[in-house]
Amino acid sequence: MLPVVADGALVGVITESDILDAFIDILGFRDVGIRLTIEAPDEPGMLSLMTGITAAHQANIQHLAVHRGNLDTSVVVVGLNTPNTQAIEADLEAAGMRILARRDNSA
């Protein structure tokens, strides 16, 4: 637990459940759509390229999280509002990215 203090007085606590719930919301695990986990080169402009590809397919990014796994690549989790991501995935791979996972949360 993490105490929340205002003006020297305890006003609440943040629990592990609160933090986990916040991560679930940030990553959009409860939202309808497709979530792609993508390994991308850790280079300037890669995120811009990724968002340009999704925009070209009229897909809206609902959630985005980036984790720098090592010095050469980053893992990007993208929540999309479209049920059909095959063309997006093909274009991302053609641009030098690798799809690590695809999660359909349409139900």
Q: Is the pLDDT of residue 75 over 80?
A: yes
Determine how many CB atoms are found less than 10 A away from the CB of residue 97.
22
- Map tokens 């989790």 to a residue: 77
User: Contact at 8 Å (CB) between 40 and 72?
Assistant: no
* pLDDT (tens digit per residue) in 2-43: 899 999 999 999 999 999 998 888 777 888 889 999 999 999
pLDDT tier, 107 (very low <50, low <70, confident <90, very high otherwise): low
- For the chain, what is the radius of gyration of the CA atoms? 17
Distances 80 to 2, 9, 94 between C-alpha atoms, Å: 33, 42, 19
What's the CA gap between 4 and 9, in Å, rounded?
8
pTM confidence score: 0.79
DSSP state of 89: H
